[in-house]
Structure 1
């Protein structure tokens, strides 16, 4: 793993989390001896804050590059030209280890893991109360488990680094089963250390249960196919549901224009003024041919594939999800003409994502129904990693798959999501697989375009052949002869393979 040294200024930590009051030098490779600089609770707080910052920053989970290898999904595509080669290659199932954006998916989680290891190594020796120390360690165990969860689903076998190590160490890649075992261990440890308190940007016991539900459900599918884990997934989701601390009372569009809504279970926090911007909202999913009154324009980074858009349910959620009428500025540079997405006046002839435009109360795209004042790439919008509807849908699917089919409770869970979306209740009497497919379909549109949600469903259920079969011919072409079975995992970045010559690259790369 590459050594990455990042200077984290106290003002940034203070603005985001109210953390330490001195400069921290964070070395995710743990080449320093943590015991020499973690002495007080203030030191420990600063180290905990650093975990979130290295994960949330632009080169990690702060920009859409965090999900470029997931562009094989049908809810994501990009321009056939322009400077979109990094995401376009994966959209064509042709991405390689030298892809310039791939390191963000690798280095970001590792930076957080190394910082978490520092906290876990020293927290017991810090001069503080057991309650405060355990709260710090609980966050470290949670984030380490969460980061490994993204790494194992993206890259498959990865090394297990569970303590401070020498920077020259070259650990082997652990089996997928071993990585999942470590994830579950970390999350269960975190659950025993965290409280039930709801705090913005911080995990609690319900956060852990929500992620555990997702982990167990994933383990029930490819590549482990441990179907006994469906019951564990349903139980973990039910824990969150029975707690009654989250709900779907926030209107769907408001979830994406406000921070930490009533359904937000875990979200990374952002602050543009503190040099930690969220750039997965605003410009990134705005058409290139939309130009604001101030001259700013969209980046055209991603939008949905045509088949995915056309297969969306007819409901208010769909209307709030997709942007289908473009505002093209006229030659007078003052007025705009409205064109449907398929019109010849538009560049991409695709719909876009409406829900990622505004950012936090319009700090992304500032617009009216007929004009655009400005289009900003850096927003203060918190990024939700886990939302309550995901828990409800996980429960619906896993409860049905762990028994003989869907129960009344299974239907009740999915119907909560459908009701908020403006859909009718799901037809009763479905078979086990038909019900599961209905839940997967619902999740695709509830979480359309969100951080790997659709892609990870495609992977665990091996859906690429069926998705490719109905792919619109106008999309970026997938080369003939592509072995799709080898495309569910991303390649290990070239730099990491060079540093670890004993590793064997994932098949197909």
Structure 2
């Protein structure tokens, strides 16, 4: 069995084998990274991609960069403990020095700086046109990815397209101008005609592509067009049509065997540590199986409640959990019951069996919320990870680091993006769109429920009903999965729905979670809504440098 070596370490060792590689990877990404003589060989071009991919993994390796996703109606936080950064964003009241706000900004601009370095300089490498296209395609794609994350979290942004520090002088570009740049980068990546699959390490490892493929580019184009169709640009039908066209290209390519993508037969296998290199993932971020702080996933304990031995970074919002259709997907997204002291309890269980709507001191599990389990792993009995689908009835692994591959875009999402976009675009023939929705639901919900939503048969749906059903379905598919390119919060932003989540959280009406048992949210939300609350504040460190960073 081949050694599981992370692509960056493998590339560094095989190409250089000296401390120079380590020095390069540790360079400050701001400003010029290396002397102008760089890019004198294919090896150096490869190493520039190593540095870029390192920044990509850094942007997702722990939760801070993703805290803005707590604004969605799927995720909430502990109101106490050390989770104040999460709770602030969950309450739409983040401070400018919130560590999640700062990390989201810094880590994604790190990607942009690395991509700029390649785009500015790669052309002078003495190599083939094909190799240049691959390198430039990766750089343009990841720059687009980073700006796509940032524009949905912060709104207007300074745009820097060169490997130079602007020293805090950049003007703010409007949301529309940022999206124009995102599209320009994705169009360049598409123009370079990246392979549908790669050969050889580190471009393909463990049977999956590490480098960005053409289907990943097209899938991302679909997501971007959808975002532009909705709030705040509201470009509407025309852009939903563009989104449908891009997603359809991926679906038809998959049907024709051009793209090696497939749905996992069982939902529980999607996030199983035994199946992290699956073909449902169209865009993934690889991490080191060797558990190194520099290249790994630090998410294994983030969903396990603190009272049960985890970090408890994210709790499931109660109303969202209540609405989510029962079935294999819900059972694999949340722990159906919580294991405490060797016994299983409903999350709302109390010590005396009575409701605690007015206070929570009587709860068996003090968090008194649904508990996500997408990143949780079982203990193998020897202190290691169980390489199998997660089992909520078994002992949890308490480790901090693992080699989980983060699933940024899954094929199921592309199917749903097509279904929703085709319906919103007014496409005359919606038969493929309806087929896509049914395919996703077949493995997700209880038997007999796959072909209807809210009692309406999918084949009989109007375009409006289909669009709404596909939109809701995507929310269930990515619930609690903050590393997705399109999270629940991102969907809600597009539909101008975050204001409704805010209003619901301010009201904080009790939810009946079981007969005789109600629950309310723990993080207090108050005040009056304004549209600036759709976005996080600009980081204090940046506004002190650049006075233009203001709303």
Helix, strand or coil for the counterpart of 1:273?
coil
Relative to structure 1, is the Cα distance of residues 117 and 78 closer, same or farther in structure 2, using a 3 angstrom cutoff? Answer: same
Residues 109 and 151 of structure 1 are in contact (CA less than 8 Å); yes or no, is this contact kept in structure 2? yes
Q: Distance in 2 between matches of 1:176 and 1:232?
A: 19
CA gap of 1:196–1:371, structure 2 versus 1, over 3 A, is closer
Distance in structure 2 (CA, Å) of the matches to 1:65 and 1:321: 21
Who is 1:260 aligned against?
277
Distance in 1 (CA, whole Å) between partners of 2:317 and 2:530 is: 18
Partner of 1:337: 343
Q: Is the 8 A contact 1:246 1:388 kept in 2?
A: yes
Question: In the alignment, does 2:215 pair up with 1:203?
Answer: no
Unpaired runs of 5+ residues, structure 1, are 1-9, 291-296, 330-335
Aligned to 1:454: 488
Establish whether residue 351 from structure 1 lines up as the match of residue 370 from structure 2.
yes
Unaligned runs of 5+ in 2: 199-203, 255-259, 350-362, 510-519
> In 2, Cα distance between the equivalents of 1:96 and 1:180?
26
Separation of aligned partners in 2, 1:264 and 1:390: 10
Change (3 A) 1:138 1:12: closer
The reply to whether residue 241 of structure 1 matches residue 264 of structure 2 is no
Contact 1:88 1:476 in 2 (8 A): no
Aligned to 2:466: 435
Q: 3-state DSSP class of the match of 1:338?
A: strand
Quick check: 1:425 aligned with 2:451? yes
Tell me the CA shift for residue 33 of structure 1: 5.5
Q: Contact between 2:287 and 2:297, CA under 8 Å: does it hold in 1? A: no
| CA displacement at 1:502 relative to structure 2 | 2.8
Residues 155 and 535, structure 2, Cα contact 8 Å, conserved in 1: yes
- Alpha-carbon displacement from aligned partner over 1:183-218 (angstroms, at most 9, x marks no partner): 111111111221121542211111000000000011
**Worse-matched range after superposition: 128-137 or 474-483:** 474-483
Any idea what SS the aligned residue of 1:35 has? coil
Q: 1:160 to 1:469 in 2, by over 3 A?
A: closer
Per-residue CA deviations over 1:413-443 (Å, capped at 9, x if unaligned) read: 1111111213421323333333222111111
The two structures, once aligned, show a CA RMSD in angstroms of 2.5
CA distance in 2, matches of 1:429, 1:368: 38
- Alpha carbons of structure 1 residues 302 and 42: separation in structure 2 relative to 1, 3 Å: same
User: Aligned partners of 2:386 and 2:62: how far apart in 1?
Assistant: 14
**Cα offsets for 1:16-65 (capped at 9, x unmatched):** 787742331433222346532221111111110111111212xx311121
Distance (Å, rounded) in 2 between the aligned partners of 1:368 and 1:153:
35
Question: Which moved further from structure 2: 266-275 or 93-102?
Answer: 266-275
- Range 65-74 or range 200-209, more displaced: 65-74
> 1:277, CA displacement in angstroms?
4.9
Closer, same or farther: CA 28–240 of 1 in aligned 2, 3 Å: same
Higher mean C-alpha displacement, 362-371 vs 206-215? 362-371
Aligned length: 482
Q: Is 2:293–2:401's contact at 8 Å kept on the other side of the alignment?
A: no
Distance 1:107 1:406, change over 3 A: farther
Q: Distance in 2 between matches of 1:172 and 1:124?
A: 28
Sort the Cα spacing of 1:273 and 1:479 in 2 relative to 1 into closer, same or farther, 3 A: closer
> 2:154–2:535: 8 Å Cα contact kept in structure 1?
yes
> Contact 1:118–1:163 (CA<8 Å) still a contact in 2?
yes
